[in-house]
Structure 1
Amino acid sequence: MTSRSCAQPGCSAASEPDAPVALCGAHLAAAAEWVGEASGVTEPLPAPCVACGSRLGVTYRSGRLCAVCEWRFGDVADGELAPPRVDVVYYLRFGERIKIGTTANPRQRFAQLRFDELLAFERGDRAVEQARHRQFAAWREGGEWFTASPSLVDHVALVAAGHPDPWALYARWRSEALALRVS
């Protein structure tokens, strides 16, 4: 294997043999730093995010953001204010049935329920929940439980599309509500 010279003008060092571009180690490091500043570097936060509790952040030249909810690390929420209310319509699977319900406190609500899997969150209150109940009324089994019909399963998949973790989406909504209240 023949060694190549660094492609950076004026640099006479040998390029790194496995690098995708002919740059020496110093110039590869400089390029990586530049990309990190422009695109952000994912790394642990020094302390949990005040909005969602995540420890994962993205560092930019301008500062750090929570990787989950995008709260600016270091911004302080007003501790005297109650947490923001974020109403969600939730979809829970239990066997071959799906529950369509609503809550402003999903963790507390789910502690009261028996289910196999949280399928999705949809931003909305009782009006949205009632619209979903009417939409899928033909498959209602009683209360808020519905047969997992193809149309309901498709709807849940559409609501969940692009959001593999419903809790991360909920954390983002709470962070947005908190940021709107603080600004």
Structure 2
Amino acid sequence: MCTTHLLVAHDWVAADVGITDVLPGACLVCGSRLGVRYPSGWLCAVCEWRLGDVPDFELAPPRVDVVYYVRYRDRVKIGTSGNPRMRLTAIPHDEVLAFERGGRPLEQRRHAQFADARMEATEWFHLQDALLAHIREVAAGVDDPWHRYDRWVSAELARHA
């Protein structure tokens, strides 16, 4: 193809599917720096928030219930929260292992699933192969569980906006 036709093809593709590039500024909703540029403007590549639209921060953020898995020494806590940032400040832990989208019913199923490793009358569990395998499966492909949670929240915010 000649240069002229390559440029025409590039412009046609850019108008149709956008060009992924670094945003001019961080996304106001999720903080991502990656965006997709269309002739009509920019969208965040993570949460699809339109660059330039200002979220209404006076509204409460959407509630996204998660089941969290945190490790403290040689045990794991399986709990649930609609605000894990606040909840996990009150729980001693060494690391956040994973988040799984769901509320109390999912948490109760996980407690029953790993009941043989449960520490008496608590939400803490002994490390065991089955539990660790489940956590690895839930966390597969995720470098930082907080990024997954932020994406869920920003998707809910964008859905309600």
* Aligned position for 2:27: 49
Asked if 1:162 corresponds to 2:126, the answer is no
Q: TM-score, normalised by structure 2?
A: 0.81
Asked if 1:96 corresponds to 2:64, the answer is no
Q: What is the distance in 1 between the residues matched to 2:40 and 2:127?
A: 47
* Aligned position for 1:119: 97
User: What's the CA shift for 1:82?
Assistant: 1.2
**SS of the residue 2:79 aligns to:** strand
Please tell me whether the aligned partners of residues 41 and 60 of structure 1 are also in contact (alpha carbons under 8 angstroms). no
Residue identity in the other structure for 1:138: D
Cα distance 1:114–1:35, how it changes in 2: closer, same or farther (>3 A)?
Answer: farther
Residue identity in the other structure for 2:142: H
Instruction: Kindly tell me the number of residue pairs found equivalent between the two proteins.
Output: 157
User: What's the CA shift for 1:58?
Assistant: 3.4
Task: Return 5+ residue gaps in structure 1 as ranges.
Answer: 1-6, 9-25
**Greater share of helix:** 2
Q: TM-score, normalised by structure 1?
A: 0.72
Residue identity in the other structure for 2:73: G
**Sequence identity (%):** 53
Q: What is the distance in 1 between the residues matched to 2:47 and 2:127?
A: 31
Task: Return 5+ residue gaps in structure 2 as ranges.
Answer: none
Name which one, 1 or 2, has greater alpha-carbon Rg: 1
Q: What is the distance in 2 between the residues matched to 1:177 and 1:123?
A: 12
**SS of the residue 2:60 aligns to:** coil
Asked if 1:132 corresponds to 2:107, the answer is no
